[in-house]
Amino acid sequence: MDPLSMFDPEGEVPPAVPAATLVIFRRAQADGPPEILMVQRSKTMSFAGGAAVFPGGRVDPADFTLAAQLGAIGEDALEETAGRIAAVRETLEETGLALGVEQRPDHADALRARALLLERGELGPVLDAMGWTLTLDALVPFARWRPKHREIRVFDTRFYLADLGTGAVDLQVDDTENTHLFWASAAEALAMAERGEIKIIYPTRRNLERLAQFDSFDAARQHAEDVPVRMITPFMGQRDGQPWLLIPDDAGYPVDGEPLDMAARG
């Protein structure tokens, strides 16, 4: 595919599938910047196949139903609450980590919950069976991206931050969609991509660059609270006679673009 054909700067923003992702922090085991959990997607996946991404996925109708049951009223509140629910649900499914729940479950309980989630496909019955209560305020809104592609599926993705604290946790990869889980600082993940050890897509790269500015979860949270979330839709521009894929230069990101051929390669 010609990378130029993927972008339509003059057209309307296409319909998008709502999605959510969770950027999970843990303290480094030695002195150093915090580490972030990433999942490597199966090469067979139609979206970001083979790429290293943050845990997450699409927002399901059941997430909206649970959001309404939790008292979210109005379209904006329903979408925001459902996004946080989806981030919790997808993280449990993909990694075996139960975040965003008040009870702080141990590994055995998390595995029980994950097995039930895979059986039922919805978070609500899992919460009821486990006696868990969601604490969605623990998820910090960080970003929202909605690319403007032609020819490929478009996701409207909300990014949230969450703090795991300790690094002493057990993980379990969901091998139906992902092949590998790993912890790395944001700077280290970028270096791995430069060395060709992992593949990262354009939004992941920009968000890793932004996350690499912070030496703790508290610093990242403060930044997120200081910079209001806005919709990021990459657009085409010219720099030094080359086509670039750009984002707004005032949205909290230290790098606002890269040449289009690099962005298309991932």
Q: Cα separation of 158 and 261, whole Å?
A: 26
Q: Cα separation of 189 and 215, whole Å?
A: 15
What are the backbone dihedrals phi and psi of residue 89, each rounded to the nearest 5 degrees, phi first?
A: -65, -50
All domains in the chain, ordered by first residue? 3-232 (3.90.79.10)
The pLDDT value recorded for residue 68 is 97
Strands 17-26 and 155-165: parallel
In angstroms, the Cα distances linking 27 to 9, 38, 57 are: 41, 15, 25
- Could you give the 3-state DSSP secondary structure of residue 33? coil
Q: Cα separation of 80 and 202, whole Å?
A: 24
Extract the tokens encoding 132: 């868990």
Phi-psi region of 105 (alpha: psi -120 to 50; beta: other; left: phi over 0): beta
**CA dihedral for 177, 182, 186, 190, sign (positive or negative):** negative
The pLDDT value recorded for residue 4 is 41
The pLDDT value recorded for residue 92 is 94
pTM exceeds 0.85: yes
The predicted-structure confidence for 105-146, as pLDDT tens digits, reads as follows 888 899 999 999 999 999 999 999 999 999 999 999 999 999
The predicted-structure confidence for 134-181, as pLDDT tens digits, reads as follows 999 999 999 999 987 665 678 999 999 999 887 545 555 555 555 588
Q: How far does the chain reach from its first CA to its final CA, in angstroms?
A: 14
Q: Cα separation of 59 and 239, whole Å?
A: 36
- Could you give the 3-state DSSP secondary structure of residue 22? strand
The pLDDT value recorded for residue 6 is 44
Mean pLDDT in runs of 10 for the chain (266 residues)? 43 78 90 91 56 94 97 96 98 92 88 94 96 96 87 86 74 57 95 93 96 96 96 92 93 94 69
